[in-house]
Amino acid sequence: MDRAERLAMVERMLFRNGAGLRVVEIAKACGVDRRTIYRDLARLEKMGVPLSQQDGRVFINREYYAANIRLNLNEAVALFIAARILSRHAEQQNPHIIPAMTKLASALPEPLASHVHYIADSVRAHPVDRNFALVLETITRAWMERRKVKLWGNLMRGGALGAYDFSPYFLEPTAAGGLYAIGYDEASKGVRAFRLGAIRRAKLLDESYEIPHSFDRRHYLASLWGIMSGDEGKQIQVLLAFSADVTPLIKERVWHSSQRIETLDDKRCTLSVQVSDWRELLPWIRSWGAQVEVLEPQALREELALEAARVGAIYRGVGV
């Protein structure tokens, strides 16, 4: 390869290795001697790549590094739409959406660019929870660098404030606007899903980790509703009955990997799913209004019955 190709390769290698690389490792991968790599590193720094060295390893400072990607028009618009959905529905605003939209606008022609700039300015007016942003940034860095974090918060169902040593495997949003970190929890000795909104503080640790080859992330990605938080392995059956009017809509979708759909004699249908926490389903169930009835579990049925009674009392003008 020529020098330009080698420089691009070194930059990619450093960007993808959060733990950094030794010069001898880079030289071996590129098929050149170490002196050549030292010259290449100096050239990359002159080109604006933020490099640093520690304990004989070379790193890219990802907080200041701007990755170069090439997008066609439709790809850029797709990313803008995704960012727009996130800005509308997220429980807490992510401050990094604004610069991301601004950069996307530079890849778009008019009048699309002006519209994206307008949306970015409108999002800028939304309040930002700085603590949530700091927690998100810390967990993102831990995920990238494969480093453990210590988390403080009410992270267990019904539990008090506690501290947890955690290895983040990935982040996943839910349809209800929540954001979860999925990873290994030292306290429970198992994989758990922690909602970022419940984390009060996150501290990056020096200890590293590896994701086991046996870990299957499909379990956490198979639901339309996103992460079903709660105790790993403890599943609850949710059984819903839908009216005949919406039965065709229910039957044409895959809502959850565990779903079972049965058509009843009166042309209604039942949808049964196994989840670890039915609370994530509440916004979706509410969206069907009177076209759905909760049959199981009883706690979910009572929750929605009380909510319906309160709504009815408001519209009847009766004190709640």
Q: Quick one: pLDDT at residue 2? A: 85
What is the model's pLDDT at position 63? 75
Cα–Cα distance measured from residue 103 to residue 107, given in angstroms and rounded to the nearest whole number: 7
Dig out the tokens for 123 from the structure.
């999002």
Domain boundary among 221, 249, 268: 221
216 and 136 within one domain: yes
Torsion angle of the four alpha carbons 86, 91, 95, 96, in this order, in degrees rounded to the nearest 10: -40
Query: How many structural domains comprise the chain?
Result: 4
What angle separates helix 73-89 from helix 97-105, to the nearest 10 degrees? 160
Q: What is the pLDDT of residue 17?
A: 85
Residues in Cβ contact with 82 at an 8 Å cutoff, skipping those fewer than 6 apart:
none
Q: Specify if 226 maps to a domain.
A: no
Residue-number span of the structural domain to which 295 is assigned? 236-316
Cα torsion through 146, 235, 284, 250, rounded to 10 = 110
What is the phi-psi region of residue 24: left when phi exceeds 0, alpha when psi lies from -120 to 50, beta otherwise? alpha
229 in a domain, yes or no?
Answer: no
Instruction: Let me know whether 105 and 50 are in one domain.
Output: no
Closest CA relative to residue 168, chosen from 129, 202, 124, 123: 202
pLDDT per residue, tens digit, the chain (320 aa), is 788 999 989 998 998 887 789 999 999 999 999 999 999 999 999 988 999 988 889 988 877 787 777 888 899 999 999 999 888 888 888 889 999 999 888 888 999 999 999 999 988 888 889 999 999 999 999 998 899 999 999 887 656 788 999 999 999 887 767 888 999 999 889 888 888 988 999 999 999 999 999 998 877 776 656 555 444 456 789 999 999 999 999 998 888 878 999 999 999 999 999 887 788 788 889 999 999 999 999 999 999 999 999 999 998 886 55
Residue 271 is predicted with a pLDDT of 96
Judgement on whether residues 188 and 240 belong to the same structural domain of the protein: no
Specify the 3-state DSSP secondary structure of 163. strand
* pLDDT for res 280: 75
